[in-house]
Structure 1
Amino acid sequence: MSTVSIITVNYNQTKITEQLLASVFATNAYPAVELIVVDNASKDYPIPAWRTQYPHITFIRSEVNLGFAGGNNLGVRASKGDYLFFVNNDTEFTEGLVASLVAILDNNPRVGMVSPKIRYFDQPGVLQYAGFTNMNYYTMRNRCIGQFEQDNGQYDRNTGPTGYVHGAAMMVRREAADKAGLMAENFFLYYEEMDWNDHIKRAGYDIWLEPRALIYHKESVSVGRVSALKEYFMNRNRLLFIRRNAPSALTVMVFYTYFLLVVTPRNVINYLRKGYKGFTSVLFKAIWWNFTHSKDSTDLGYPLK
């Protein structure tokens, strides 16, 4: 039987993480799992209490906030599973979730990554994700299939290839992770899972959706729906993704032109219209980072608290 390492990262969200764990215990009938929780330098330091409450879970403490990629990579290094199931701590499991994803990887050796269908937790009948379209590298745009639609089962027959898995819930074949390398930690937050998708594709694996498996997502609990931190990394990493994955130098040049002449003024107008103070300087800081740092630089360019 294939073994699964369920890995999640906690950052100042003790109760949310406990709700995830409760949902895992309540719904997971798959027997060959290990649970790994990485605490990313949370201020309240919940691990001592957790070790008493959950003696069969592996807890890892990082004294530095390593971001999404770094925290998950820490979990991978401590894991033993054939498959790695990365879940955001603001998700909740449903019956058969793990077993359904395992079946995809067991029966399709070319599949390196697979995600379940995702619904919004606070609107449980509404879809967040039922696959992604492929990336347009000239504009760095693709589409999340099904998002905001009422889920009437319209995508439940779409088991198979998709453009990208979703970082909130993705099961990865360890062999694929070994060949492609782990997630790039210099993204810190946002786009790292899409970058990893592209690297795993280039390592020779397919990316799939299994819509008959379902998970609920509370979304943006740790960062917030609007914040300077989010705005900085969304823009910085959009540029960084293209630098790391565009098929040619010409593609990079076209995207930079599009970003500077279309995206940047549009964003600035939006900040002014909505009264987002300080966001314009954050945007230009994100752009400047990409002109002054290599695509492998570990300097985040943003002061983390």
Structure 2
Amino acid sequence: MLLVVDNSEQPSHAEQLKSSLPEGVELLFCSNDGYGAAVNLGVAWHAQNSKDAQYLLVSTHEALPEPGALRKLESTLASRDKAAVVGPALVTGVDSELVWSLGGYFSRILGLPRHHGHKSPRSILNGAESHAVSWLDGAFLLFRKSVIEWHSIDEAFFLYMEETDHQQSLRRLGWEVILEPRAVVWQSSGGTPAFYQTRNIQLFQAKNGTGLQRIASAPYVVATSIARDMIKRRGTSQWAPLVAGWRAGMSLRPAPQADGQPKIVLINPLGAALAHYTDALAEMLRASGSDVEVQSINEPSVAGSSRWRWVFDYLRLLSNASQSRPGYRTSQTLVTWPVAGFLDLAVAKLICGRSTAIVYHDPKPLVRSIGSGRLIARMVSAIPNRPRIIVHSLAAAEAMREFGLGQSLEVLAHPMLRPNGRNGTGGHPQKERPVVRVLGQFKQDRDFDALKAIATELDDCALEIVGRGWPTVAGWSVDARFVSEQEMDDLVRSSDVIVIPYKRFYQSGIAIRALEAGTPIVGRAASSLADMYGADSSLLVPESNNAESAEPNPWTSAVRHAIRNGAPEAQAAANKFFDAAVSDWRTWISETVAHTKRSLR
């Protein structure tokens, strides 16, 4: 669906514009409050009228894409899970012979935005491939729609640098900004007005720069511009606007946040394993009215670094999060995984203070973990005003109480993306044989008896196990490797049933992803799956049944029920669980704001 936003403030041209647009193109008129305001208005319109779209193109009237450019941008954005926005190579000139911009970077000392490849011959595009850049020109940008809906453009800039500022906020949240040089768009640009050049660099640096950059950027721009005009004998017509913009920018500061809007810094020390969890949590917090910043590092097995380096990087993230940010009276640090078990409660208290919460997924880890013993727990329990503890199931809460860590303990629903959202929940296509999968890394607490029973009785199904470290399992096709986030999503969506064959677990990220995709889950009733489906669900295996002697085996009965009738139950469970999760986290945000305000009095 195509929308034209006209902010020209020329009513006499309205009828002419309407008549010149093809049928089906929508048109909005608005006052000229700048580029950002027009984009935000268009995004809000599409949020209501293009709900099923995954991507959103923002184009100015002066951009002309070459054939195939948009498809190349779409392909690149679809192939990069962490990309929020992708832009083309911008060219200019009568014959499109010069490069205008290949994205941008920031100068080393003052952090001034500079174009890559500016005014270079177009031939430099030959053989170029997509890659991350610091920023993209706002003339022609393809966004992940959910991202730009959550993160609007700052309208205070009016003109120039608002897209650069917007992209820095996305990068701080963990998103990538991607240049696709194989997509080419012609652009006509008159350059930057002198007034906004000096005014907006101050607003930009106030939000993104260092102390030196805030002080020195505008004077440097004024001095170099005047010197350039004198050398080239251009006259003095631009000097007054430069100085006026400098003076206007001195009073500009980022708009202070309302007292009720907290700043949440999400720290994810398992950047690969908990990527999906962190994305879902961030979206849920934003839906509750928070400004969320995500800081992630990859675990040693992915980064290829030592465990000590990983711990050092984690401490650095905690230190960064502890620094107060202007305009936020209610700041909170939320750690998605404790690197050192219960010791994290002491470390986070020391570095970040009271405004910290830590999520404990496995109070009694299946894999041996540093800092997770009873002695450490008793020592940490004596710390006054320690960080809050978050768990995602009643079983996990009971385990924490057994360790003496029941104080400041909160049970919140496992975060999930919206059902029917970007992961989709459409029905699965009919297959010759139903696909039953076990997904995720192998752990010793897997129930091999259940897997054996399923393989024995379900020879009419395709039985697959995909996950790192799995041994051979009779009757199952085993693919023992690590899979990417995108491939994991594809595996979840294309499964008819997902089996969770743990003997003991507190929550399952795979089960949450299956809920998001509308894929039925089979597992034990005496687990957190009962929180999703209800303990009496036919998809869950009751503990009273003996998997070795019961006829038919309860695991195979549950799988067959899931194949025949599981989809509607999965859909209903997904909607109910999502609503409960939103309510839980919204309440937590409200209590966080109130708690922080009390501590500031």
| TM-score tier (shorter) | 0.7 to 0.9
**CA offsets 1:87-109 (integer angstroms, 9 cap, x no match):** 12111121111111111121212
Match of 1:205 in 2: 175
Q: Which amino acid aligns with 2:139?
A: A
Q: Does 1:113 align with 2:85?
A: yes
Contact conserved, 1:110 with 1:205, CA < 8 A, in 2?
yes
Q: Which amino acid aligns with 1:42?
A: E
Contact conserved, 2:102 with 2:136, CA < 8 A, in 1?
no
Match of 2:215 in 1: 256
CA shift at 1:254, angstroms?
4.5
Match of 2:194 in 1: 231
The percentage of aligned residue pairs carrying the same residue is: 20
Q: Does 1:294 align with 2:257?
A: no
Distance 1:142 1:109, change over 3 A: same
Match of 1:186 in 2: 156
Match of 2:130 in 1: 159
Contact conserved, 1:118 with 1:216, CA < 8 A, in 2?
yes
Q: Does 1:98 align with 2:66?
A: no
Distance 1:83 1:121, change over 3 A: farther
CA shift at 1:44, angstroms?
5.0
Contact conserved, 2:134 with 2:168, CA < 8 A, in 1?
no
**CA offsets 1:134-183 (integer angstroms, 9 cap, x no match):** x247413243222212222545433121121221111111222234x211
Distance 1:234 1:155, change over 3 A: farther
CA shift at 1:35, angstroms?
1.5
Distance across 2 between alignment mates of 1:219 and 1:254: 27
Q: Which amino acid aligns with 1:263?
A: V
Q: Which amino acid aligns with 2:71?
A: A
Contact conserved, 2:161 with 2:201, CA < 8 A, in 1?
yes
Distance 1:252 1:216, change over 3 A: same
CA shift at 1:269, angstroms?
4.2
CA shift at 1:187, angstroms?
0.2
Distance across 1 between alignment mates of 2:217 and 2:252: 20
Distance across 1 between alignment mates of 2:163 and 2:115: 14
Indicate the structure whose relative CO is greater, using CA pairs within 8 Å and at least 6 residues apart: 1
Aligned residues: 248
Distance 1:243 1:138, change over 3 A: farther
Q: Does 1:274 align with 2:244?
A: no
Q: Which amino acid aligns with 2:183?
A: A
Match of 1:35 in 2: 2
Gaps of at least 5 residues in structure 2 are 257-601
Distance across 1 between alignment mates of 2:126 and 2:250: 41
Match of 1:51 in 2: 18
Q: Is the deviation greater in 73-82 or in 191-200?
A: 73-82
Match of 1:5 in 2: none
Match of 2:524 in 1: none
1:215 alignment partner, SS class: strand
Match of 1:145 in 2: 116
Distance across 2 between alignment mates of 1:50 and 1:87: 17
Contact conserved, 1:114 with 1:172, CA < 8 A, in 2?
yes
**CA offsets 1:10-31 (integer angstroms, 9 cap, x no match):** xxxxxxxxxxxxxxxxxxxxxx
Match of 2:414 in 1: none
Q: Does 1:214 align with 2:162?
A: no
Match of 2:102 among 124, 130, 134: 130
- Please, what is the CA RMSD of the aligned residues? 2.3
Q: Structure 1 length normalisation: TM-score?
A: 0.74
Contact conserved, 1:271 with 1:280, CA < 8 A, in 2?
no
Distance across 2 between alignment mates of 1:73 and 1:85: 12
1:46 alignment partner, SS class: helix
Distance across 2 between alignment mates of 1:131 and 1:65: 26
Q: Structure 2 length normalisation: TM-score?
A: 0.39
Contact conserved, 1:101 with 1:213, CA < 8 A, in 2?
yes
Distance across 1 between alignment mates of 2:213 and 2:153: 26
Match of 1:241 among 187, 190, 204: 204
1:99 alignment partner, SS class: helix
Gaps of at least 5 residues in structure 1 are 1-33, 298-305
